[in-house]
């Protein structure tokens, strides 16, 4: 039996576990019915037996962890099903217990909660990042169905962070970083502020232990030095509120270490320069009392301009409501005041968890629940649009940033967006289709560029057009995960459509070459082909997309198609594929040789890249086996210009570049870029490289002839 220390009595872990279990049942019995407590006892026995023989890194029996998590949740008065799930949250992942067994014993709801809290350990992933992202996506889907999943998960993470010392350093660092990037922001997003602050501080302590201890020591010293100032402010505020006949509770509030550290980092301040590490919370009985208290405080100490925020009139995205004001206190010390009602304070401390703590239908609590539901719905929308778990996780991280901007629709509805958002973010927040069709925006009745940054209080009106579509450049400035997800998903669908169209061309060409008659592709023939290819769970359009992106060979699919239609395949020369150069994402004009209409061209199908078009003389084509080259020809191309590079050797004298540029312009070509390079081997000469836009080969030849006539030009050629 383990010993606590040298010559000390051994620890009786069985007695310890029984004592902790009884403490949990006692805490739960204060607000649950006897039959609910009995359910907890059954859940405890199931979890204890399942984890028999398992220990934590610290040496304690594993069951002490779920017991601690469940006990923590009694502070939030979580219901019996949630507490039972907390007790058994690791049994599916770490023991031989199955979900059907849990469902038979405790019902489907509890089994679903436990399943939502379990990782996808049995699946294999290429990287840890992918595994983390897939597990996170599973948890998000589960918490969208039942918010208790994330409540239990946060309590689980908080207890793990409190007991992280027993882990290896590299694992501590990884878990702490994940906590800081994902779980702390989620706690903030659903209003669990105490959990949010503690998770931040614990993660800070494990990521930067030396900085944490230095800062912790400095705060303790400052606490003693500033006690006189704090006491003076408390006394003055209490007296002022009594004079104004305002019944209030006043609490001192110290900023958490991580928020002080972040402020020092962001503003390049030393600790002595961070003056507002103390704040005060004033709790009154109703909304009018909040504004009366604000007036009383402003008559006591002068407010700092620009430091007042009314989160009562316009609540934060997680339902948080309060008045914030910063005052010039004694000795010029800035003092932050938060003024709120008891119900607002409940939401501020416990967020969505206040739903279980106060089931009396308070407006603030109901609003917090509704806003959390809206946020979860937006996560589901993003999940539906993203088939990549890692990308989905990145979108979520963006939306978890705490800074927000509050803007209005023309009808006065409030839209909450991440700090730095633009009209495009606003458009996607209204509806995905509005984002897709966004063409311009008015902010406060004035037309503004789509990349303009929105500010609190702006009224935004989006102008749409059925002819427009998302621009890839929007990804350079949008801030919200929803906008990023919507734009990327649309661009992917465009690429898929382009690949399908190219696949149809390639399949038709291959079928024509193998048979005198192109088969009529009926739904029955499509189904038979999918069966022959071993892809019953996919659609025919997926096969076409695979051909277009080079994952399937058109000739192989065409041969199977002909066999299934009863036609005899025969070898024949493939007819050339006609292209215009603007087909979209599935056909690319290669950058190595820049083919233009008039050039002899060939195609190379590359996996996941589609069809790459090269000039027949390109050095990259010479390396490719002849049977892998596809014959391609230009269709008649109108109203389209193509990029091409030319190189000019000219005598280096004043005005040479201007004369050459004028000649190019005279030949009706557009100059995209120009680059000059001294020619050290030929004194007095310079190499000039132009990137031009021309119509076709004939146009290029005309440009080169025009340039060659410039007096200073020695040689002009295509590069």
Residues known to be catalytic: 93-94
Report residue 301 CA to chain centroid gap. Answer: 42
Q: Confirm if 500 and 610 have CB atoms less than 8 A apart.
A: no
Distances (CA, A) of 653 to 137, 258, 657, 682, 714: 64, 63, 9, 14, 13
Angle between helices 169-178 and 193-207 (to 10 degrees): 150
Q: How far apart are CA 480 and CA 385, in angstroms?
A: 14
Q: Which two tokens stand for residue 422?
A: 């633009």
Q: Which DSSP helix (H) or strand (E) runs through 264? A: helix 257-267
- For the chain, the distance separating the N- and C-terminal CA atoms, rounded to the nearest angstrom, is 81
Among 706, 600, 590, 596, smallest CA distance to 648 is for: 706
Among 673, 654, 672, 665, smallest CA distance to 711 is for: 654
Partnered with residue 463 across adjacent β-strands are 440
Backbone angles phi, psi at 231, to 5 degrees: -60, -40
> For residue 384, with 0-12 CB atoms within 10 Å meaning exposed, 13-18 middle and 19 or more buried, which class applies?
exposed
| Residue 146 CB neighbour total at 10 angstroms | 17
Distances (CA, A) of 7 to 3, 4, 10: 8, 9, 9
Distances (CA, A) of 625 to 274, 594, 604, 620, 630: 69, 21, 10, 11, 11
Specify the length of the chain in residues.
719
Q: How far apart are CA 460 and CA 467, in angstroms?
A: 21
Q: Which two tokens stand for residue 587?
A: 């056909």
């Amino acid at each position: 039996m383990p010993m606590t220390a040298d010559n000390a009595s051994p620890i009786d872990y069985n007695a310890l576990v029984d004592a902790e279990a009884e403490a949990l049942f006692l805490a739960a019995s204060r607000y649950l019915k006897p039959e609910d407590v009995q359910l907890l006892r059954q859940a405890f026995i199931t979890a204890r037996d399942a984890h028999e023989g398992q220990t934590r890194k610290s040496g304690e029996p594993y069951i002490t962890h779920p017991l601690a998590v469940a006990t923590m949740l009694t502070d939030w008065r979580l219901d019996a099903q949630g507490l039972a799930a907390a007790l058994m949250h690791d049994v599916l992942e770490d023991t031989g217990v199955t979900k059907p067994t849990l469902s038979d014993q405790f019902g489907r709801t509890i089994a679903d909660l436990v399943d939502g809290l379990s990782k996808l350990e049995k699946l294999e992933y290429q990287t840890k990042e992918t595994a983390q992202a897939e597990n996170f996506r599973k948890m998000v889907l589960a918490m969208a169905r039942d918010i208790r999943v994330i409540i239990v998960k946060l309590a689980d993470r908080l207890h793990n962070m409190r007991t992280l010392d027993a882990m290896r350093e590299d694992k501590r660092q990884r878990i702490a970083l994940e906590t800081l990037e994902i779980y702390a922001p989620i706690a903030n997003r659903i209003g669990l502020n105490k959990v949010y602050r503690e998770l931040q501080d614990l993660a800070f302590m494990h990521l930067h232990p030396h900085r944490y201890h230095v800062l912790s020591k400095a705060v303790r010293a400052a606490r003693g030095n500033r006690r006189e100032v704090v006491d003076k402010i408390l006394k003055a505020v209490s007296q002022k509120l009594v004079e104004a006949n305002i019944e209030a509770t006043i609490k001192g509030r110290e900023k958490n270490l991580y928020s002080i550290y972040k402020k020092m980092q962001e503003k390049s301040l030393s600790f002595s320069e961070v003056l507002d590490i103390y704040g005060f919370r004033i709790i009154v009985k109703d909304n009018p009392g909040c504004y009366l208290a604000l007036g009383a405080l402003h008559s006591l100490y002068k407010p700092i301009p620009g430091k007042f925020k009314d989160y009562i009139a316009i609540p934060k995205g997680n339902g948080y409501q309060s008045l914030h004001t910063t005052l010039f206190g004694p000795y010029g010390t800035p003092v932050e005041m938060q003024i709120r009602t008891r119900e607002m304070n409940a939401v501020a401390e416990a967020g969505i968890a206040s739903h279980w703590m106060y089931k009396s239908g308070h407006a603030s609590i109901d609003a917090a629940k509704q806003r959390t539901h809206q946020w979860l719905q937006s996560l589901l929308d993003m999940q539906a649009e993203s088939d990549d778990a890692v990308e989905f996780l990145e979108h979520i991280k963006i939306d978890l940033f705490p800074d927000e901007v509050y803007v209005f629709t023309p009808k006065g509805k409030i839209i909450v967006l991440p700090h730095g958002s633009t009209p495009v973010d606003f458009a996607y927040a209204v509806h995905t289709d509005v984002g897709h069709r966004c063409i311009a925006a008015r902010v406060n009745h004035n037309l503004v560029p789509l990349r303009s940054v929105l500010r609190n209080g702006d009224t935004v009106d989006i102008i749409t057009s059925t002819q427009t579509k998302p621009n890839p450049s929007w990804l350079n400035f949008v801030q919200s995960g929803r906008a990023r997800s919507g734009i990327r998903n649309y661009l992917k669908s465009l690429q898929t459509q382009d690949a399908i169209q190219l696949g149809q061309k390639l399949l038709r060409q291959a079928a024509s070459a193998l048979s005198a008659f192109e088969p009529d592709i009926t739904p029955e023939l499509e189904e038979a082909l999918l069966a022959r290819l071993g892809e019953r769970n996919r659609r025919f359009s997926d096969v076409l997309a695979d051909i277009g992106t080079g994952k399937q060979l058109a000739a192989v699919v065409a041969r199977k198609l002909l066999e299934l239609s009863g036609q005899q395949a025969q070898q024949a020369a493939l007819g050339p594929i006609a292209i215009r150069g603007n087909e979209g994402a599935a056909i690319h004009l290669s950058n190595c040789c820049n083919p233009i209409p008039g050039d002899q061209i060939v195609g190379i199908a590359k996996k996941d890249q589609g069809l790459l078009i090269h000039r027949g003389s390109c050095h990259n084509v010479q390396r490719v086996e002849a049977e892998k080259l596809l014959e391609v020809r230009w269709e008649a191309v109108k109203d389209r210009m193509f990029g091409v590079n030319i190189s000019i050797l000219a005598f280096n004298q004043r005005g040479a570049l201007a004369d050459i540029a004028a000649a190019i312009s005279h030949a009706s070509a557009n100059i995209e870029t120009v680059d000059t390079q001294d020619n050290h081997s030929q004194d007095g000469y310079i190499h000039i490289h132009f990137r031009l836009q021309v119509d076709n080969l004939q146009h290029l030849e005309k440009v080169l002839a025009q340039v060659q006539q410039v007096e200073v030009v020695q040689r002009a050629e295509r590069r």
